[in-house]
Amino acid sequence: LGLHGIAISFEDYKHRVYGGSFLPDVPTRCGWDKEETIDALIRKAGYRGLFDAEFKRAKLVGTRFSTAECSRTFREYQTENPDLSNRETSGENAPDDTDASFTEK
């Protein structure tokens, strides 16, 4: 926990599909262990039914992923992506030039 992000997907007994993910820092920031993280992901996915260890073993498909964090102003982003610079970025809804952090997979 803390090094990689985690994503899960599963199908319930009625064949509805669910999925959820956490970035690497979420479980450690929340103080969760592995089991608490999985349980929180199941709930985040929208599943409201009962689940036990057998359900998790039989139904869950997990994927871990890495992330990188970087920061750009919107103007820097526009400069790096000129083909996007004129789409919905003018007028009263135009973003300002403040820093915007985002996470990149």
Average pLDDT over every residue of 71-95: 73
Residues 80 and 42 both lie in one domain: no
Residue 99's pLDDT band, with cuts at 50, 70 and 90, is very low
Residues 32 and 46 both lie in one domain: yes
DSSP one-letter string for 45-92: TT--S---HHHHHHH-EEEEE--EEEEEEHHHHHHH-GGGTTSS-SGG
For residue 24, count other CB atoms closer than 10 A to its CB.
19
Average pLDDT over every residue of 97-105: 49
Residues 58 and 32 both lie in one domain: yes
pLDDT tens, position by position, 19-65: 999 999 999 999 999 999 999 999 999 999 888 888 888 889 999 99
Counting residues of the chain whose pLDDT is more than 70, the rounded percentage is 78
